[in-house]
Every structure is written in C-alpha cells, then in structure tokens.
Chain A
C-alpha cells in the first residue's frame, strides 16, 4: 500500500475543514498513526485498499487517487461492502489520530497540551440555585424516628 492511497482515503473520511482551515486527515499526516495502530490488521487493510485502486481502474481511472472526487466515496463504500471491518478500522483509527493531533485540537479551541500539569480553571457556579432545594422538607426516611 502506498502512503498516497491511504492518505487519499483518509482525506475522504476526514476531509479538509474551514474556520479555522485545516487540510484533510491524510494531508495532515494521520496515515502514519493509522498504520502504527493497525498492527496485525495492516495486511488485511492493505489488501482492501489495493482492491480500491483496482476498482477505480476498472471504472476507468488510473487509480483511486486519480478518480473524480465525486466518485471516490462511492468507490470506497463499494469496496467496504465486500470487506467487513475495512472502513470501520480506518474510521476508528483515523478519528483517534486526527482528534489528538495538536493542529486539530487547537482548531477546536483547546490548548494543544495534556491536561496536567496546568489543568483548567472552572467556576464554582451559583450555589444560590440550591435555594428551592434547601426549602424542601426532609427527603430521606428515618427508620429510627
């Protein structure tokens, strides 16, 4: 499997976004994460993706990457229908890699850092909202009463 093919598929699964603008998951380099996480399943996925290239060629394109943009999703779905687990694995690992990438995390409005050691400020909140609860009679049963 060429990186180009996996990147191209990942760009279909997680395409470029706007505001803030970011390229798709393949262009962001999430493919290397996906390959690492696929582990023993990599040969199966590779074979599935090669079938994708073959199907694209059968339909007149040089390969999947060269297929018209509006046909790629259909090609992907068609191959996935005959390869259980193919798309599920790519989507799962693609999401996991994409949503921990610092550029994506920042695009969501978060600081691209682990939670510790800085943590997050959080407002105590309005405990006056409890006034109607405080005004209620006892809610528990007391067997000794």
Chain B
C-alpha cells in the first residue's frame, strides 16, 4: 500500500472530500481518500443511552481539545474569543453538525460591488445553483419552496416539523411582520436513499443514531465506495510532497499502525477544513515553498472567518415540547440578512431557532445563568424553566481580515508529533455592532412570541464550527491561493475544496456551499482532464 501512484488523492473525508470523491468516481480514475478519523457506529451515539446528555462533556463534545480522541488534533485557540469546534471521522464535522443547510444568497458573492467591503467572489450564485440542487438530492434536504428570501429552489423532502415551539416563535415573527421560514435541513423527513426518516430524537449535534441526518458517512460515502473510491481511515497526513517539476507528488501520512507511508498521486485535493488545510499547507515546506506549500501570496492561513454567534434564550409560560425534534433545525429568519446601512453595520445575519433542552442541560443552563438555586427553592425554579425555554442563535457574517489567521504552534503537536495549528482572531467592530443589533432584535422577537424573560450571550465562545477563508479563491495569484475552481495558483495539480476557499462568509451555515463548491470543482476537473494542468 502506498507505493503505486493513484490518479487522485483526497485528504479528508468530511463534507467536501466526500462530495468530490463521489463526483469524480464516474471517471473511473483511481481515487484514494486519506482520513485521520475512523468510521463512526451510530449504535454508539449518545441518544441510545439514558445518560445521553452527558456526552457533551466527553467524546461528543464540540472542542477537539476536550474530547481526548486519538483521531483529533489539538488546536491552540487561546488567542481567540471563539473556540474551534470540529470532528475527525468519516463524515468529518457533519457527524456533529446540526444539519442546518441554507444556501448563500446571490448578494454574498458580490460583497465588494454591492457594499464596498471585502472582495467579490470569482464565481456567482448561478455558478453554484446546479450544484446546490444536486447536493440537495445527495444529502436529502428538507424544506419548503416559496421562501421570498431566496431565488426559487425546490427542496427534496418535506420540511422538519414546526412543533409547538416552532409555532410559538412563528407567531412572534408574524406579530413583528418579520421574515421566517422552515429551515432547509439535511434531514430525511421521509425515507430517502436508504436512510430512515427522522424520529425527532433531539440532539442532532451528537450524531444521529437513526441515520436520518445527512452526514456524509451515510450520504456520499456509501455511493462513492460502491463506485470504486478507496477510503483509508486512521491515516493522518503529515505533509503534501512536491516533485522536482513543481507539482504535488503525493502525501506522507501516518497509517493506522503508526507507520509512515508515502502515497504518490497525479492530483492532490485538500478537504481538511479552514483550519486543517492551512495547517497542512504550512507543514508542507520545501525550498520552493519555504513558507508553506502554495503560499507565494502569503495568504495561506490568513483571513480566517468564523461566524460570530450570539445565543438568545427566552423563558415561556407554557411547555413547548422543545426536547423533541432536530435541535438546531426549526425555522430561520433572514429579515436582517441584506445590508441596510442605517443599522450601523454592513452585511447581515440570520436567526436560527433552537429547540429546547433536556433535563440535565436545563439544570446546568439554569445554574450557569443564576436562574436555578440549589436547596429549598430548587424544584420550583426548575419547574419554571423545564420545557419552557426556546432560543435562537444569531449567525453574523464575518468579514475577512488578514490579522485573523491560522499559523503553526511552535510547541503543540498532535499524537503523531505533527505541529498543531494556532488560531489568532479578534472580533471586528462591524461584527460587534452586528451582534448588538441581533441580540436586541432577538430579544424583541422572543418577547413578541410570549417570552416572559430572556437571556443573551454574545459572542458565543464554543461556536467556532464554521472555518473559512484561509486559502481564499480569486483570479489574481498575488491576492488569492486558489482560482475560481479551487486549483492552487502555485501548484496546478493541487486543489482545495473546503471552507478555506471562501472569499467571504455569508451569514448562513456553510456546509451546503462547501459541498456545492466541491461538486463545482469536481465538474471542472472532469471537463478539463485533457488540459488540467495548463
């Protein structure tokens, strides 16, 4: 294993690597994917156990630093108010994501032209539209047609249920005359492509034991493997190697038995997310690229974007049945998505409604907010909040700034001794003003829906799950890392298909766009095979 040259070597089996592998499989090229994690077993997911809520503090926590799994790598995020959240396995972070699946807006690709900030993308919404549509079929997207916040689009499956909680909040939005819509969600609300339908377990963010959530281990990967793609798990890549011709020649990796291997390849594709990809490029130094592979622009690792989040929670008088249904997917509001300069900031944000909490989470939330005493008053105070909370997260668009970046930590290494990433990030003034606006509006709508009390937290520290911008796309090699279809300017057989290539962040969850971009890149590779490296 590892000595023969394969046609395509993909590094990372998450959202993007899976989509690209599946799309390229029809070419009958020899395709190998290296994934540092392993296959997950849904029978082991927390919702199969009575103590399911406790796993958020352990193996299914959001932070790789807290989980202690061999498959994860540490991240030094001490110099960031927003902490990294990712997961390493077949399926990548789609194992733990909420499966909220909105598209970006047409305006998101023309930020400079429309609003005078950041840069326009070298592609537009129309470029990605067919890939969004294809991705909806493959991932199984539930939703409802007719949303005035978007160009027409047809969901594959019926929307996730509103439930009593969703209806309660919908009344609040209607009282204010604001936009809301059932969330586009990568959740099989009916049986779809062999996946069982959602049965409203609750915590999608701990893995879906039902298999209804569209994580790529149950969507793209089975189809890609049936089509001949080889997926090697527990294989952690140390560096991408460079041949004498200046082309990527493959990758050195540590296999499941701890042995170092070199896999040679004609094409190398990075799909390691907005932190893992710059980490790997920066770890791949050579005389030709002393500052990291494909980094002649100096932009590898720079322009890191999160989505600054806020959490606004309301306490209601009546039970909401909030422990039922997909945690993060209910309804979305994009009333404040498009730029309105009178608000004091540019760009905008989405509200995404959350379901309620289980008993333990309710108790700990009550404790952390000072709402729940121990002792004589405990049970009355608990009854006041149990199944009576509904919240919303705010997803603010982040703007790219070169000072926000991923570098290599001088000391921290992973379990294979490979230098780990360090994240340096600060909130911009624009983001802070946007968060303030969003918290005020979020409070307003919860009160309009009947909340008797609200609480807000902004920014939300553990919300570093959207990792973008660190190998940005553009047509100028001096100001970008990859071109308009993900090919590195510096190394013409090296491609990047994860959130690193985002030029701007939009104000929505990025997975759908990441996968649409991967399908777009795969399409361009397939259509340019004869002159791919010109």
Partner-B contacts on A (CB < 8 A): 12-15, 17-18, 73, 87, 91-92, 94-96, 98-100, 102, 104-105, 108-110, 112-127, 129-130, 132-134, 136-144
Partner-A contacts on B (CB < 8 A): 45, 47-54, 105-107, 109-110, 113-114, 124, 126, 144, 146, 148-151, 158-159, 161-164, 166-167, 170-171, 173-174, 177, 179-182, 199-203, 209-210, 321, 323-325, 334-335, 337-338, 359-360, 362-364, 367, 374-376, 378-379, 386-387
> Are B50 and A102 closer than 8 Å at their CB atoms?
yes
- Taking the closest CB of chain A, its distance from the CB of B177, in whole angstroms, is 7
- Taking the closest CB of chain A, its distance from the CB of B311, in whole angstroms, is 20
- Taking the closest CB of chain A, its distance from the CB of B444, in whole angstroms, is 17
Known: A108-B387, A129-B171. 7 other contacts (CB 8 A): A96-B363, A105-B359, A113-B50, A120-B324, A122-B161, A125-B167, A139-B148
A125 neighbours in B (Cβ, 8 Å)? 161-164, 166-167, 170
> Are B334 and A139 closer than 8 Å at their CB atoms?
yes
> Are A123 and B364 closer than 8 Å at their CB atoms?
no
> Are B107 and A132 closer than 8 Å at their CB atoms?
no
Q: A122-B161, A133-B179 are in contact. Are A140 and B359 (CB under 8 A)?
A: no
Give A12 to B202 CA distance when docked, in angstroms.
Answer: 32
> Are B386 and A108 closer than 8 Å at their CB atoms?
yes
Give A129 to B173 CA distance when docked, in angstroms.
Answer: 10
> Are A141 and B144 closer than 8 Å at their CB atoms?
no
> Are A13 and B179 closer than 8 Å at their CB atoms?
no
- Taking the closest CB of chain A, its distance from the CB of B210, in whole angstroms, is 6
> Are A115 and B201 closer than 8 Å at their CB atoms?
yes
Give A122 to B173 CA distance when docked, in angstroms.
Answer: 21
Give A125 to B171 CA distance when docked, in angstroms.
Answer: 12
Q: A14-B378, A133-B180 are in contact. Are A139 and B149 (CB under 8 A)?
A: yes
> Are A114 and B50 closer than 8 Å at their CB atoms?
yes
Closest chain A residue to B158, Cβ basis: A124
Give A127 to B52 CA distance when docked, in angstroms.
Answer: 32
> Are A73 and B375 closer than 8 Å at their CB atoms?
yes
Q: A100-B360, A143-B113 are in contact. Are A116 and B107 (CB under 8 A)?
A: no
Q: A14-B374, A115-B52, A116-B209 are in contact. Are A140 and B164 (CB under 8 A)?
A: no
A-B contact pairs, 15 of them (CB 8 A): A18-B379, A73-B376, A99-B53, A99-B359, A100-B53, A100-B54, A100-B360, A102-B50, A115-B201, A120-B325, A126-B167, A133-B148, A139-B337, A140-B337, A143-B106
Give A116 to B50 CA distance when docked, in angstroms.
Answer: 10
> Are B49 and A114 closer than 8 Å at their CB atoms?
yes
> Are B375 and A12 closer than 8 Å at their CB atoms?
yes
- Taking the closest CB of chain A, its distance from the CB of B187, in whole angstroms, is 12
Give A17 to B383 CA distance when docked, in angstroms.
Answer: 11
Q: Which 9 A-B pairs have the closest CB atoms?
A: A119-B199, A125-B162, A99-B359, A120-B324, A143-B110, A116-B209, A115-B201, A141-B107, A95-B363
Q: A13-B375, A126-B162 are in contact. Are A95 and B360 (CB under 8 A)?
A: yes
Give A139 to B523 CA distance when docked, in angstroms.
Answer: 31
